[in-house]
Amino acid sequence: MTVPGRIKRAGDLGWRLGRILALGLFVSWALGPLAWQGITSIKSEQELVRLPPLLPETPTATHYRTVTARSGLGREILNSIIVATSATVSAIAVAALCAFALARLPIAGKTTILSLLLGISMFPPVAVISPLYLLVRWLGLRDTLAALILTHTAYALPLAIWVLTVFFRQIPVELYWAARVDGCGPWRALWSVLIPPARPGLAAAALLAFIFSWNEFMFALTLTATDRSRTAPVAIALFPSLHEVPWGDMAAATLVVTAPVIALALAFQRHLLAGLTAGSIKG
């Protein structure tokens, strides 16, 4: 009688070990580069180009000091914050209206519109970069934050519309009907009845838009010229000079720039996991 039990337990153990191994692999794959940046950022110049040691013998904060002392980076992080925040807010505002229309209003060709959106989001950005550059110059927006905000909004929209359409559709249609019968026009129904239960969806879409805009490199590089409008990723990429690549400084700057996004993701986690429509209908 004990034999099958033992076999089962052994199987359990194998299963558990396998799971731990898989998780470990995944975590090191995801966090490895970040850890490597962390190590690099606290190594002294001499240790940077040597291996071993893997870990620095004398950790140093020089790189962080250099980065914070550097004149431009503060301005460039501020630019990033302005661009990412504005692009997120405008993308979510427009996407919420689009998604509401696609989910609840009687309009023709909903499926066509949605597949068109998906098609646009799959379009490689590099294909539009030169016409976009000409357009921005013609509009007189070259080297302005507005150019980046507009571009990032446009590129964040398709995904945001998709995410929000799905979320709005998950909210029972009776809620919308009830709001209409209770006396709401479409605007009020959207604001008072659909937006609040869709908050997790809005948070998810906003986070995706923000991370996209924060990390976006190619448009930011092409459409900016000076630190008047340059964003943080571009600034870091411009660290290397003709004769040397300051790996330590770049690693430190990368971590400084990544920190806000991580903080944001952790802060939004609660909203992302919040229940969608608990208790609105039976059950």
Partner 1 sequence: MAEVALNGIGKRFGATEVIRDLTLSVRDGERFALLGPSGSGKSTLLHLIAGLEAPSSGCILFDGRDVTALQPRERDVALVFQSYALYPHMTVADNLAFPLRVAKRGARPDRRTIQQAVRRVADSLGLGSVLERRPGELSGGQRQRVALGRAIIRQPAVFLLDEPLSNLDVQLRADMRAELRRLHEQLKITMIYVTHDQIEALTLADRVAVLDQGRLQQVGTPAELYQTPANLFVATFIGHPAMNLLEALLDDGTVTSGPIRIPLPTTQAERLRARNTRTVTLGLRPEQIRVAAWETRARAEEDRLPATVREIESTGAQTWATCELAAQNPPVIVGLAEEALRIKPGATAALSFRAARPHLFDPMTGLRLGEEAS
Q: Is 129 helix (H, G, I), strand (E, B) or coil?
A: helix
Q: Are 208 and 163 in contact (CB under 8 A)?
A: yes
Nearest approach, Cβ of residue 175 and partner 1 (Å) = 5
- What is the contact surface with partner 1 in residues (CB under 8 A)? 172, 174-175, 177-185, 188, 192-193, 196-197, 277-282
Residue recorded with tokens 């501020």? 78
- Please identify, using beta-carbon distances, which residue of 45 and 182 lies nearer to partner 1: 182
Which is nearer to partner 1, 1 or 278 (by Cβ)?
A: 278
The distance of closest approach from Cβ of residue 198 to partner 1 in the complex, given in angstroms and rounded to an integer, is 10
**Contact (CB, 8 A) for 270 and 204:** no
Spatial CB neighbours of 235, under 8 Å, sequence gap ≥ 6 = 72, 73, 76, 227, 253
In the complex, what is the shortest distance from the CB of residue 171 to partner 1, in angstroms, rounded to a whole number? 9
Smaller CB separation from partner 1, 102 or 193: 193
- Label residue 2 exposed, middle or buried (CB < 10 Å: 0-12, 13-18, 19+): exposed
Q: Which is nearer to partner 1, 9 or 188 (CB)?
A: 188
Q: Under 8 Å CB-to-CB from 126, ≥6 apart: which residues?
A: 218
Distance CA(106)–CA(222), nearest Å, equals 41
Q: Which is nearer to partner 1, 157 or 179 (CB)?
A: 179
- Which residue's CB is nearer to partner 1, number 139 or number 274? 274
Question: Closest distance between partner 1 and the C-beta of residue 186, in Å?
Answer: 9
Shortest separation between residue 276's beta carbon and partner 1, angstroms? 8
Instruction: Report d(CA 242, CA 197) in Å as an integer.
Output: 54
What backbone phi and psi angles, to 5 degrees, belong to 194? -90, -40
Tell me the closest approach of the beta carbon of residue 191 to partner 1, in angstroms: 10
Q: Which residue has the tokens 């460039």?
A: 76
* CB 56 within 8 Å of CB 44: yes
Shortest approach of partner 1 to residue 199 CB, angstroms? Answer: 8
Q: Whose Cβ is closer to partner 1: residue 189's or residue 250's?
A: 189
CA–CA dist 230, 78 (Å, integer): 10
**Cα–Cα distance between 89 and 153 in angstroms, integer?**
9
